[in-house]
Structure 1
Amino acid sequence: MSDDFEMDWQRDARTGVPEAVLCGHKSMAQIEAIVAMAHAGGKRLLLTRLDEAGFAALGGETGKLLDYDPLSRTAVLGGGVPLAATGVGIVAAGTSDLPVAREAARALAFCGHESPIIADVGVAGLWRLTSRLEEIRRFRVVIAVAGMEGALFSVLAGLAAAPVIAVPASVGYGVAAGGRVALDAALASCSPGIVTVNIDNGFGAAAAAIKMLGMRERAPASL
């Protein structure tokens, strides 16, 4: 317990998704204190939005405790867990969308879910997507990451039976800058079966996928 923070270690048992530490608006001293407390208690911990400069600024002992991935800006304390092929897959429109896709994949892996990433299959070269459709259609849940005009969301939802979790990415320029066009496209899609999280929210998409899979496991045998 600290005056600055109080961790919710029961969140996983309560909701099915563990608490993650958003590092983007925390001081290095706060992050170091959180990691130290978790390490002392033998807890695993996922940290998000920890950029390379922030990771480098952490104390040496703190950095040694973390498995850091610069692309996704995530770090894991406490090592990994065995991964199970539970049926979630990630589809990224372009190579530029990989940081968000990797954030989702790292969050899923932290919780024990294997999540293959199918990248660079945006609609500008539709043949790249259609050549991977058989593989995509095997997923029980699809996380789709796209910036620019976000057309991938509608196309996937119109071709695959799995629910599509749309993650608008802040990849684009001009009117598409910041991911707002992709967000609006996801929300306004005429393809049924799309649910949408906030711009660049790979962790939120992973949490939604875990809850979808968990609801199926917890479904009653009869109503």
Structure 2
Amino acid sequence: MHADDLRALLDSLRRGVTSVEEAFARLATMPFEDLGFAKLDHHRGIRCGFPEVVFGDGKTREQVLAIFERCAAGESNVLATRVAAGVAEAICTRFGEAVYHADARAVTLRRAPRPRTPGGVVIVSAGTSDRPVAEEARVTCDILDLSVQVFQDVGVAGLHRLTASLDAIRAADVVIAVAGMEGALPSVVGGMVACPVVAVPTSVGYGVGFRGLAALMAMLNSCASGVTVVNIDNGFGAACAAARILNRASSVEA
């Protein structure tokens, strides 16, 4: 349940549109719902600003589908990440409005339309091989109602590709910088913009890149002050960081 949904329910109860019994039934499954193999955190949207997300890795098709169904029973948008194609097909068969984003390995289900959170996110990715991680970040931003723009293949091997979009990047309120190899892109971006930069190392690279460890260490040692770093290949986490920043900023401005 989203905070706005709870406010709407309480207002409906106050105005007599919703009965006490109906309101009780809506609230009875809060703060969590026990499915036996999972406890769904229905309060997360109220506490954190966005609802619980289904993480597909390590779960059976039946478990992912059951969790997704219960999340979809509410009014909030639903996101499942790291979803295998076969599991995604099962979800989309069950929910005709669900969308499978193959590059991101994510499934989204958009419920009632909501206004976009004020502010904008720009995602820059170093190479085409980083696209799956950048797409996971983009899909997550979109389902969390953030305005997002993506610039792909703008790594430091051809810096002119990055500077060609510099005006748009500088206009962002949060930049997510995705890079593998030596992980230099976030440091370069961090030295060019005033807004928060969230760095995402990817596992793209050769030998001593150690599946993203070299990029992770480089980003943690960035000379550009204040760059935030999430885990290797964690585009989802970067988008959630951006959502927290913009949600808090919009609440302060209000």
TM-score normalized with structure 1 length: 0.90
* Higher gyration radius (CA): 2
User: What's the counterpart of residue 5 of structure 2?
Assistant: none
Matched, 1:180 2:213: yes
Give 1:43 shift.
4.8
CA distance in 2: counterparts of 1:195 and 1:95, whole angstroms = 23
Q: Secondary structure of the equivalent of 1:115?
A: strand
Partner of 2:108: 76
Q: Pairwise mapping of residues 30-49 of structure 1 onto structure 2 (< 5 A)?
A: 30-41=63-74, 43-49=76-82
- Larger mean Cα displacement after TM superposition, 84-93 or 150-159: 84-93
TM-score relative to the length of structure 2: 0.80
Q: 2:49 aligns with which of 16, 23, 32?
A: 16
User: Is 1:199 equivalent to 2:235 in the alignment?
Assistant: no
CA contact (8 A) 2:200 2:235 kept: yes
Cα deviation, residue 62, structure 1: 2.7
- Which of 67, 82, 87 pairs up with 2:99? 67
For the pair 1:126 / 2:159, whether they are aligned, the reply is yes
CA shift in 2, pair 1:49/1:198, >3 Å: same
- Aligned counterparts of 2:135 and 2:180: Cα–Cα separation in 1: 15
Instruction: Please state if 1:26 is matched with 2:66.
Output: no
Q: Structure 1: 5+ residue runs without aligned partners? A: none
Amino acid at match of 2:105: R
Candidates 110, 130, 153, aligned match of 1:97: 130
| Greater RCO structure (CA 8 Å; 6+ sep) | 1
- Aligned amino acid, residue 133 of structure 2: V
Percent identical residues? 43
CA–CA separation in structure 2 for the residues paired with 1:115 and 1:167: 16
Counterparts of 1:29 and 1:113, CA distance in 2: 30
State whether residues 67 and 79 of structure 1, in contact with CA within 8 Å, keep that contact through their aligned partners in structure 2. no
Report which stretch shifted further, 78-87 or 206-215: 78-87
Change in CA separation of 1:73 and 1:191 when aligned onto 2, cut-off 3 Å: same
CA 41–156 in structure 1, closer or farther in 2 if over 3 Å, else same:
closer
Q: Residues 80 and 137 (structure 1 numbering): CA distance in 2 closer, same or farther, change over 3 Å?
A: farther
- May I ask how many residue pairs the two structures share in their alignment? 220
SS at match of 2:154: coil
The alpha-carbon distance between structure 1 residues 38 and 215, as it changes in their structure 2 partners (threshold 3 A), is closer
Question: CA 1:36–1:214 in 2, change beyond 3 Å: closer, same or farther?
Answer: closer
Q: Does 1:113 align with 2:142?
A: no
